[in-house]
Structure 1
Amino acid sequence: MRSDFYKYQTQTTPHPLAMEVSHAKGSYIFDTNNKAYLDFVAGVSATPLGHNHPKIINAIKAQLDKYLHVMVYGEYIQKPAVELAKLLAKNLPHPLESTYLVNSGTEAIEGALKLVKRATGRSEIISAKDAYHGNTMGSMSVMGYEERKQAFRPLLPDIRFINFNNEEDLTKITSKTAGVILETIQGGAGFIEPKNGYLEKVRKRCNEVGALLILDEIQPGIGRTGKLFGFENYNCIPDILVMGKGLGGGMPIGAFTASSKLMNLLQDNPKLGHITTFGGHPVIAASALATLREITESDLMAQTLEKEQLFRKLLVHPLIEDVRGKGLMLAIITPSAHITNSVILQCQDEGLILFWLLFEPRAIRITPPLTISNDEITKGCSIIIDILNKIQ
């Protein structure tokens, strides 16, 4: 299997971790030698209820017996998609009420970028340096990291960049700006939170010049920060909310939500302003609906903040310079990329899954399932500290 993996499946890096997976359950992934790995990554924030959660599995199986794909998005009334969109609206502030379901976070970003241009008649998009919003051409255009983009230029024109948390840069948002797109918490940059009411000030500036605000919640969303969406922590309601990853409960999904007035612009002039064959797929929507119900109806979000404090209590070491982030969206910052690489690789050998962030080479990702237990947190942190002691 290993040789076939390298021969037939296209790789994204020269050195994939290449664990051969047998099965997964709860907070653990098992390899084909039946070795258990405690999962501190959750598929890069994509499995908030852990692996093989019974409510998700049952929802998927029940839908499988009814129908799979029947028609392109938006033409037929399909109960899982309608109920998912309705539940999102129920849990979002006014005027976020209408949701377009797509296949991935990056596609949701593409739809949001199109919508701000359609709504304003303007072309300029402002993003943040060190931002990551996905890897399709439009999403890459608003990625604030040139090293990852230069091989694929030319990209979208009329993109400008500001520094996240820099209030002086807000003057760059003008009457020429169609939209400002920001991650609520910068992910690839190292889990950077907004400070000093930054998002509120961006919101105010957008209002002043008639620009629309897109907040990318693909990573912080779906309960990970102790709220259903990260923006709820920062007193800032976007015009367009983008989500993905955790919403699917382990199935591929993306979505963007705005007011009905805005979203209706995609219906006409031109018709089919955004279109997808498989967006809102009934099986995936059923999985997402079960995930969203469990997170909103349980106390998992409150637990998330308690578990954050346990992580912060346990992750104390001379080689840990900082623990950034909020809730269960955390990043350990070490003194060097070399130490970070050593910790991630040695922890995998010891049965603990950690991972990197895109643009901050000193960061160690900790984004476990929201369902992780305190005992599992203690166990994993003990492995990290033991490895750091050996490195020190």
Structure 2
Amino acid sequence: MSLFPNYHRAPVTFISAKNATWVDDHNQTYSDLSSGIGVYNVGANNPEVLTALTDQAANIWHVPNLYQNPLQETVAQKLGGDTYTTYFANSGAEANEAAIKLARLATGKSTIISFSNSFHGRTYAAMAATGQDSIHAGLPMLAGFKYATFNDINSLQALINDDVAAIMLELIQGEGGVIPAEPEFVAALVKLAHDNNILIIVDEVQTGIGRTGKKFAFENYDFEPDIFTSAKGLANGVPVGAMLAKNKLAPALAYGTHGSTFGGNPLSMAAASATLTVLEGLLPELEAKITLFWQKLSEFNTLASVTSVHGLGMMAGITLNIPVNRVVSDLLSEHIIVLSAGNNTLRLLPPLTISTEQLLKSLDQIKYYLS
């Protein structure tokens, strides 16, 4: 055995991809409604990102964080403007680890409140912040984490005390079943946090970089978090993570408190910068596609196999009363790439750049299968 058995891999090998079409080693094409688990937000093999990568690769691939890296400054400005200070990592889990550390350093408090069915990563603190017993199974968890019920402000209120450093949440729980936060819940959460001098951490690893129709999901809820994280779609397939915090919190992550060998390397920064430029031009045109997406998805509510349809932007969950893993496997056999999520949910994360024709055709195929 050459690889650990920690993944269930489908019996297909992909060798190339362009936008929302993937090609296997038998030259068969597939329609991608997964974005590689929310990574190819601006489409696989995006030409602008490819050019940025190849141009950078011709010069220098790696510069440690012992030296200046102007590309980091460029991407940080595109991400957080003048309001936020940025730290670069290699993944969403690492970005969330940095967010947890910063919240504790900045406040001098220990407790992080997150939510049931949340997912923040599989490194140790991120795993402890994840509110799923299945993720914790067989392992001792780090202290200092409590879990409220998502969309239940009374449950959150009951956990508030003087040792709470931060409330950490996804505004749409992706792995937990594509469940959006209710606007009234978020408004009450923000007030509760502000009234009690508690930081708000928003995990934008899956919901960011245009996935909900805005650059970040919190823009849909009309507030600014104290800290937020990004990864997945940030460099459109090149590994990168980012933790952003309000400028006043920046001194808490002082010299020697945190670091990364590869975080923010020139290749990832070139790809991220190009991705964010593409996204800036894409966002104004996205609303019409999102409208069509949800108009088509509304038809799924009439299907006997469908319990509910929910989500936001180009992020949808279809909860089923038939086994979702079988559906994912069968649809792959029909050359449509989809995902599963918690609570027997079919998860759709199509590239934001998918053509309207390909999107609607793929949804019709899924609807036909579920009928």
Residue in 2 that maps onto 1:45: 38
Local SS of the residue matching 1:376? helix
Local SS of the residue matching 1:315? helix
Which among 301, 304, 312 is matched to residue 326 of structure 1? Answer: 312
What do the CA deviations read for 1:84-126 (whole angstroms, capped 9, x no partner)? Answer: 0111123xxx74x211111000000000000011011111111
Q: Distance in 2 between matches of 1:138 and 1:122?
A: 15
- How far did residue 303 of structure 1 move? 4.1
1:212 lines up with 2:203 in the alignment: no
| 1:29–1:37 contact (8 Å) kept in structure 2 | yes
1:377 lines up with 2:329 in the alignment: no
Q: Which moved more, 1:251-260 or 1:53-62?
A: 251-260
Which aligned pairs between 1:78-227 and structure 2 lie closer than 5 A? 78-90=69-81, 95=83, 97-153=84-140, 155-171=141-157, 172-227=159-214
Which aligned pairs between 1:206-355 and structure 2 lie closer than 5 A? 206-267=193-254, 271-298=255-282, 299-316=284-301, 317-336=303-322, 338=323, 340-355=324-339
| 1:37–1:351 contact (8 Å) kept in structure 2 | yes
| 1:217–1:229 contact (8 Å) kept in structure 2 | yes
Alignment RMSD (CA, Å): 1.6
Which among 54, 79, 84 is matched to residue 61 of structure 1? Answer: 54
| 1:330–1:367 contact (8 Å) kept in structure 2 | yes
Q: Distance in 2 between matches of 1:330 and 1:240?
A: 25
Residue in 2 that maps onto 1:3: none
1:11 lines up with 2:2 in the alignment: no
**Number of equivalenced pairs:** 368
Identity %: 32
Q: Distance in 2 between matches of 1:152 and 1:344?
A: 29
Q: Distance in 1 between matches of 2:53 and 2:317?
A: 32
- Matched to 1:288, the amino acid is A
Residue in 2 that maps onto 1:70: 63
* Structure 1 residue ranges, 4+ long, deviating more than 4 angstroms after superposition: none
Local SS of the residue matching 2:180? coil
- How far did residue 302 of structure 1 move? 2.7
| 2:298–2:309 contact (8 Å) kept in structure 1 | no
Q: Distance in 2 between matches of 1:275 and 1:335?
A: 46
- How far did residue 193 of structure 1 move? 1.1
What do the CA deviations read for 1:151-179 (whole angstroms, capped 9, x no partner)? Answer: 121x2112111001101123222221011
| 1:308–1:326 contact (8 Å) kept in structure 2 | no
Distance 1:150 1:346, change over 3 A: closer
Structure 2 unaligned spans of 5+: none
Q: Distance in 1 between matches of 2:292 and 2:237?
A: 21
- Matched to 2:264, the amino acid is G
What do the CA deviations read for 1:296-328 (whole angstroms, capped 9, x no partner)? Answer: 123344345234324324535222222110011
- Matched to 2:235, the amino acid is G
- How far did residue 147 of structure 1 move? 2.2
Q: Distance in 1 between matches of 2:167 and 2:119?
A: 14
Which among 1, 21, 25 is matched to residue 32 of structure 1? Answer: 25
Which among 322, 334, 348 is matched to residue 366 of structure 1? Answer: 348
Local SS of the residue matching 1:119? helix
Q: Distance in 1 between matches of 2:98 and 2:292?
A: 35
Q: TM-score, normalised by structure 2?
A: 0.95
Q: TM-score, normalised by structure 1?
A: 0.90
| 1:197–1:234 contact (8 Å) kept in structure 2 | no
| 1:68–1:282 contact (8 Å) kept in structure 2 | yes
